[in-house]
Structure 1
């Protein structure tokens, strides 16, 4: 891994991500630290595809639904890639989004569960992301958090065939069991 050795640990910037290989892994930078996530398993990919399909079907024309590896750079020292996101169409840059997202979704996997539930939650909260969804495909469980002031409040936890009727970022009906078919 020569390319990593040329980067100074603890002092990485989003610009340094350009020097990393396109090898199927997800590379993110948070306050100078490189986070590397392995390629996702089929259950993860299935959930991302199904959720993206449902969201895009209901997405109004002034908004956009995108999937990783779209970089979200809420600060000059942070570049993260939600599995699925929704934002205003005009906020999408050529390679990055810097304005607050309307929705960030992380699909849990064994290697990302702790980071998604703690680190990513805090990052999105600090960045002013209006709604953060955490989907656990193994449990068919969707946790919905919405920003109230500057803190996330849990709005719903739905499991299996239960339905969540979202209002943020736009009206959409999500059934967790349908995301892992």
Structure 2
């Protein structure tokens, strides 16, 4: 299933900030994709547990965790904010460089992004967003599949994502891009289905 486009025009962050409709969008290379309807309860429980573990691990650490909605602007170069054509709202992002944070969110690649997949967003997250995150330099990208109980992990190597690591949601998993963060998948045992 593909997320619907707002229209066929190309947009920038400057336009995006002016939109007054209730719908939320992400811009990917100027194309405005409507965000999926409210996520399922399971999606929210999985995301909440993931955020809780990450936030607890980062107490007193310079890295900061954020959950959607949180604008992550991904410039291609030094263009002004209003000219940026890619703005995403990852389910969970961790930013370790405080200079990337401002009142609007994050400008530049977070160190780690995790998306909790749902039927409405799986293709978008696997294809479009993975390519965007690779181009932007996101060091580590996780796709958490609550229904299948697996996680797909991409790590940036020489500017490209290598072969992903795919593992079951069992045991513990270190986040390589963020020192001191380890996810205990056993805490997710009560969440199943989507």
TM-score class normalised by the smaller sequence = 0.7 to 0.9
Which piece of structure 1 moves more, 121-130 or 39-48? Answer: 39-48
Partner of 2:15: 16
Unaligned runs of 5+ in 1: 1-6
1:17 and 1:99 map into 2 onto residues whose CA distance is 17
Is 1:95 the counterpart of 2:101 in the alignment? Answer: no
Shift of 1:113: 0.3
Partner of 1:40: 39
2:117 and 2:185 map into 1 onto residues whose CA distance is 13
User: Which one has more relative contact order, counting CA pairs under 8 Å at least 6 apart?
Assistant: 2
Relative to the length of structure 1, the TM-score reads 0.86
Structure with greater proportional strand content = 1
Partner of 1:71: 71
1:119 and 1:177 map into 2 onto residues whose CA distance is 30
1:142 and 1:22 map into 2 onto residues whose CA distance is 34
Distance 1:126 1:171, change over 3 A: same
Relative to the length of structure 2, the TM-score reads 0.81
Partner of 2:131: 122
Which piece of structure 1 moves more, 88-97 or 49-58? Answer: 88-97
Unaligned runs of 5+ in 2: 1-5, 76-83
Give the length in aligned residue pairs: 174
Which portions of structure 1, spanning 4 or more consecutive aligned residues, are displaced by more than 6 angstroms? Answer: none
